[in-house]
Structure 1
Amino acid sequence: MTVKFAPRLSAPLFTLAASAFLVLAYNYSFWQRFLFATGGFSLGNLPLLGATFVLLVLVFNACLSLVNYRHLIKPVVIVLLVATSAAAYFMNQYGTQIDKAMIQNVVETDAREAGELLSLKLVLTVALLGVLPALLVARTTLTFAPRRRHLLTNAGVVVGSLLLAAAILLLFFKSYAPALREHRELRFLLTPTNYIQATNSYLKQKWTKPQVVAPLGRDALKGVTWAGHPQRTVTLLVVGETARAMNFSLNKYERNTNPRLAQQAGLINFSNVSSCGTATAVSVPCVFSALGRENYSDGKAQGQEGLLDVLKHAGFDVLWRDNNSGCKGVCARVEYEDWSEPVANDPLCNSEECYDEKLLERLPELIRAAKNDLVIVLHQKGSHGPAYWKRYPKQFRQFGPVCETNELEKCSQAAITAAYDNTILYTDYFLDKVIKLLRQSSDEDGVDTAMLYFSDHGESLGEKNMYLHGAPYIISPPEQRRVPFMLWFSDRYAERFKIDRRCVAASASQPFSHDNVFHSVLGMLDVSTAVYNPKLDIFNACTHG
């Protein structure tokens, strides 16, 4: 006769055991950071560490006791175990912290990007730390007291757990206060509370999204510099992906990652620019809104028109060409083209995706055939990780050895950085090609042309054991916030809009941010509207006449 293993526990003991397991099994990143925040491991620190463990178990136990009912508690714990094992993997693997922006980034990514994060180690981690404990929970027999006594027991456990937790908090408050004040990242590292709170915030934001989009800049008109100039204009806004400024040799990086752009006459490179967020889902809507980082929220941005709408009101034809995971709502009311789907036997694509050069396909013909002034946004795949080696054709593999796995712990930091630097080298080639295309359109078709390039956010490549991006902005490292930003104008474009190149170049080392983009684009195109703020226009002090 086969004896099947089926543990038997009382319901209150089960929630206590589950709470202890959650605190111990999935919070390596939290404990590592907590040790650092409280002075490291020592005999004198043991009472604080032990008290913190008990405090967390008590708080988790109080929360689980609120749902400790027959037919409910086991499904809740099973979902927690599987979800928390996956969250713990990404936190331990990439040094990520989980907040609302990270959840938004996860929800709004596409299948190809999500697939790059899958690995055997992830599957094994979820299987061992998620599925196996979940199966044990499923097989566990729980005993419940009669309904009334069970309700009273649950209430007593909740109140008792919270009172004991409060007592511990007060007893060690002198140690907790500076640690929590100086290390706010701890709340983004404690799981499962981090992703539960972040998901709740994200869903609340989505559910309260206004149905009506408020108009913005409906008064927009082309200014006086447009008079007497029959030539059409084409302005390309190139939105980079995951490019960090410090890996551009234009910004004094030791590797020559910008050999072509360094030779481009008239290119103006800004070396001190900060992003609005640390993830695409935040930065892209933010940079095209009039809100600025301090006032930005997804709900506000989705609830009013943005830069591309204002340009349409002023009479421009606007087109968004995408080689990424979409425009995050920014291009909802303008023409949109998706160039990310791979095409068989196309040298600009591989079996999984297309290289950024695909964005330039048939673009000269489009510019030549246009009857109106154009603003075209090119949204790159850029340097999106962790599969950096997939972002560029083989001939751009100039730095090495290269990390060719999404399990970054298997690679040295040097190999990860080499693969990343090759993506910047390819972006250098891509932007150089954009400028040559615009120069040719100017020379051959008489079109006044310009390019503005900026990245959405940066990237961590192992500094302080952090990888990728998406860290909460308040504690994010400069690697994730400092972004490249550069400008190029054809001669006639600069003359037409009376832009003094030397004046603009003289300000290139000043601190700017994504907040400047909205108003600078309106300024460079001489668009008059009440929503324009000259104080945030990079060109305002450098136009004359």
Structure 2
Amino acid sequence: MDKLASRRIDASALALAVALLLASAYNAKFWATLSQAAGGWSQLPVLAATFLIVVLVFNAILTLATFRYLAKPAWIVLVLVAAVASHFVTSYGIVIDKNMLQNVAETDFREASELLSWDLAATVVILGAVPAWLIARTQIRFPLGVRGLLQRAGIASGSLLLAGLLLVCFFKSLAPVLREHRELRFLLIPTNVVQAVHGYAGNRFASQVVVAPLGRDARKAHGWAGQPRRTLTVIVVGETARAANFSLNGYARDTNPQLARQEGLINFRHVSSCGTATAVSVPCVFSALGREGFTNARASSQEGLLDILAHAGFEVLWRDNNSGCKGVCDRVRYEDMTTHARPDSRCNAESCYDELLLDGLPELLRRTDKDLVVVLHQQGSHGPAYAKRYPPGFGRFGPVCTSNQFAECSRESIEAAYDNTILYTDHFLDQTIRMLREAAARESVDTAMLYFSDHGESLGENNMYLHGAPYLFAPREQTEVPMMLWMSDGFSERFQIDRACLKEAGDRPLSHDNVFHSVLGMLGVDTVARNPRLDLFASCRRRT
């Protein structure tokens, strides 16, 4: 027994070892970012002090878990989670917060499976499974009784005190770095994961929401009196399309050859998104809250744009080729196109291309006697498997990255694959407009299309990839999105819309905040929920 006891490791020593492991092995991205922000390795004393602070804080927290039936499970979970988080932070340059976790939780299996790779498996085994196995096998000597509690309290408080002293000593150097680079707190593993889980759980498991009415006074007003023709309005919600890669906005590659030839298309060049992830931007853009007032909890507790259109008498349909409407369409008709039959020409082995969203729309129009608003939610340019987002005939730019592991590809090949997704979106929007133009002629309806993307995408700028960065310091590649409008002649005449005025607005700074109010204004819907100052059409309507 004495021999066995002598082989046991003191719990406080193992806690320190795990703290060192967490601070070093899983946080390469954090230390690289901190080093660059602090001025390079010439600031080695500052970096060394920061490392000690992190280790000491981790040690204090882990020491508080040194109870017989808590320590091993808690530490094993930590290293496994840290291994997974480290892979995605290092490989894709993402930051982890509650919005990113929500985006992951609400992504369907098809999209999530694209992130699985041998690199991920190797990281989980080397940085996760191996340390977890060693912790599980280790014989630990736990402090007992009151003396044990005092020992834990002493180590934890001593660690925090020493960390505090180091922070005070190096505060002058660290304060400006931490103030100017707030993204660092979203990079430090596993504290970023713990914060994200706490924030997401707080939103996810909040008390049952009662949806407050909004716009129940909505009525069709301007442009509706005495009109025998119905309307068909298509709102296309793009996915991960950034404005910088649209040739309509000056991009060097011709990614919009078909839209450039569309007569009457109005392009808005300077539009900022509400968020940097679908789970934020989609509910935000369809709410009346605006970016500054938006939270998921507030948006889910209040009716939105589609509800108001339904109150006004429109038939509303949401068609999805993505991962759902994020609660926006809960009270209107919904069609999940990903579950439909998959003709070979419009699908690959894992998903269907966006043209499937147009299936049967003319027939749908014929079957209803109401004015119709249809939202088409694209798969668009969702990464990292950009090359799977478009049919073979749209691989104009190359060479193309065909891997979902960016480390295996050059930045040029990643950009080429992404640009091909924009080229296909160009084709999809062109086909949508052609369908609407034909419907206007054949079905005697007035038609319009509004397109905007939910957020942008990083393609390696500042070594960042994908999207989901906290908005406060998100790069413009993730927040600047395309937006455009097309109207049939009958539609613009009916609602007395001044196209020249709208084209001038195309050069002004706009945002997702304008969408809610502008859709109501475009369709001549009167309601107290509409803010004329955010309605693009309020100042661009001809007076009769």
- Whether TM-score is above 0.5 comes out as yes
Answer yes or no: is the 8 Å Cα contact 1:341–1:353 preserved in 2: no
Which residue number corresponds to residue 414 of structure 1? 412
For residues 183-235 of structure 1, the C-alpha deviation after alignment (integer angstroms, 9 at most, x for no partner) is: 11111111100111111011112222542111111111111321011110010
Q: Name the SS of the counterpart of 1:227 in structure 2.
A: coil
Inter-partner Cα distance in structure 2 for 1:209 and 1:398: 50
Inter-partner Cα distance in structure 2 for 1:49 and 1:306: 48
Which residue number corresponds to residue 367 of structure 2? 369
Answer yes or no: is the 8 Å Cα contact 1:81–1:130 preserved in 2: yes
Q: Name the SS of the counterpart of 2:41 in structure 1.
A: coil
Amino acid at match of 1:323: N
Which residue number corresponds to residue 14 of structure 2? 14
Of stretches 205-214 and 128-137 in structure 1, the one that deviates more from structure 2 is: 205-214
Amino acid at match of 1:28: A
Amino acid at match of 2:346: L
Shift of 1:539: 1.1
Which residue number corresponds to residue 393 of structure 2? 395
Amino acid at match of 1:174: K
Answer yes or no: is the 8 Å Cα contact 1:251–1:271 preserved in 2: yes
Which residue number corresponds to residue 199 of structure 1? 197
Task: Work out which of the residue numbers 448, 451, 467 in structure 1 matches 2:449.
Answer: 451
Of stretches 58-67 and 68-77 in structure 1, the one that deviates more from structure 2 is: 58-67
Amino acid at match of 2:113: G
Answer yes or no: is the 8 Å Cα contact 1:232–1:448 preserved in 2: yes
Which residue number corresponds to residue 28 of structure 1? 28
Inter-partner Cα distance in structure 2 for 1:373 and 1:263: 28
Q: Name the SS of the counterpart of 1:145 in structure 2.
A: coil
Task: Work out which of the residue numbers 281, 295, 298 in structure 2 matches 1:297.
Answer: 295
After superposition, residues 326-337 of structure 1 pair within 5 angstroms as: 326-337=324-335
Task: Work out which of the residue numbers 152, 155, 165 in structure 2 matches 1:154.
Answer: 152
Which residue number corresponds to residue 528 of structure 1? 526
Inter-partner Cα distance in structure 2 for 1:68 and 1:204: 27
Inter-partner Cα distance in structure 1 for 2:481 and 2:69: 51
Which residue number corresponds to residue 353 of structure 1? 351
Shift of 1:145: 2.4
Inter-partner Cα distance in structure 1 for 2:488 and 2:44: 66
TM-score, length basis structure 2: 0.98
For residues 336-379 of structure 1, the C-alpha deviation after alignment (integer angstroms, 9 at most, x for no partner) is: 00101363543211221110000011111111222100100000
After superposition, residues 56-455 of structure 1 pair within 5 angstroms as: 56-341=54-339, 343-455=341-453
Inter-partner Cα distance in structure 2 for 1:344 and 1:273: 35
Of stretches 388-397 and 6-15 in structure 1, the one that deviates more from structure 2 is: 6-15
Q: Name the SS of the counterpart of 1:540 in structure 2.
A: coil
Structure 1 runs (4+) deviating above 4 angstroms are none
Answer yes or no: is the 8 Å Cα contact 2:222–2:525 preserved in 1: no
Q: Name the SS of the counterpart of 2:116 in structure 1.
A: coil
Answer yes or no: is the 8 Å Cα contact 1:344–1:351 preserved in 2: no
Amino acid at match of 1:535: R
Answer yes or no: is the 8 Å Cα contact 1:356–1:430 preserved in 2: yes
Inter-partner Cα distance in structure 2 for 1:287 and 1:477: 20
Change (3 A) 1:168 1:301: same
For residues 372-422 of structure 1, the C-alpha deviation after alignment (integer angstroms, 9 at most, x for no partner) is: 001000000000000000001000111111000001111111100110011
Inter-partner Cα distance in structure 2 for 1:488 and 1:209: 42
Inter-partner Cα distance in structure 2 for 1:315 and 1:68: 63
Shift of 1:150: 1.0
Q: Name the SS of the counterpart of 1:347 in structure 2.
A: helix
Inter-partner Cα distance in structure 1 for 2:86 and 2:272: 29
TM-score, length basis structure 1: 0.97
Q: Which runs of 5+ in 2 are unaligned?
A: none
Amino acid at match of 2:285: V
Answer yes or no: is the 8 Å Cα contact 1:209–1:299 preserved in 2: no
Which residue number corresponds to residue 490 of structure 1? 488
Q: Name the SS of the counterpart of 1:418 in structure 2.
A: helix
Task: Work out which of the residue numbers 453, 476, 479 in structure 2 matches 1:478.
Answer: 476
Inter-partner Cα distance in structure 1 for 2:217 and 2:87: 51
For residues 47-87 of structure 1, the C-alpha deviation after alignment (integer angstroms, 9 at most, x for no partner) is: 22221111111111111122210010110000000100110
Answer yes or no: is the 8 Å Cα contact 1:342–1:351 preserved in 2: no
For residues 154-181 of structure 1, the C-alpha deviation after alignment (integer angstroms, 9 at most, x for no partner) is: 1111211111111111111101110111
Amino acid at match of 2:167: L
Number of aligned pairs? 539
Answer yes or no: is the 8 Å Cα contact 1:102–1:470 preserved in 2: yes
Inter-partner Cα distance in structure 1 for 2:144 and 2:171: 39
Inter-partner Cα distance in structure 2 for 1:243 and 1:7: 58
Inter-partner Cα distance in structure 1 for 2:402 and 2:483: 28
Answer yes or no: is the 8 Å Cα contact 1:355–1:392 preserved in 2: yes
Answer yes or no: is the 8 Å Cα contact 1:342–1:354 preserved in 2: no
CA RMSD, 1 decimal: 1.2
Inter-partner Cα distance in structure 2 for 1:345 and 1:485: 30
Inter-partner Cα distance in structure 2 for 1:147 and 1:122: 42
Inter-partner Cα distance in structure 2 for 1:204 and 1:369: 44
Inter-partner Cα distance in structure 2 for 1:341 and 1:413: 34
Of stretches 210-219 and 111-120 in structure 1, the one that deviates more from structure 2 is: 210-219
Q: Name the SS of the counterpart of 2:287 in structure 1.
A: coil
Inter-partner Cα distance in structure 2 for 1:344 and 1:474: 41
Amino acid at match of 2:93: G
For residues 239-269 of structure 1, the C-alpha deviation after alignment (integer angstroms, 9 at most, x for no partner) is: 0000000100000100100000000000000
Inter-partner Cα distance in structure 2 for 1:316 and 1:13: 67
Amino acid at match of 2:10: S
Inter-partner Cα distance in structure 2 for 1:400 and 1:264: 26
Q: Which runs of 5+ in 1 are unaligned?
A: none
Of stretches 429-438 and 216-225 in structure 1, the one that deviates more from structure 2 is: 216-225
Answer yes or no: is the 8 Å Cα contact 2:209–2:300 preserved in 1: no
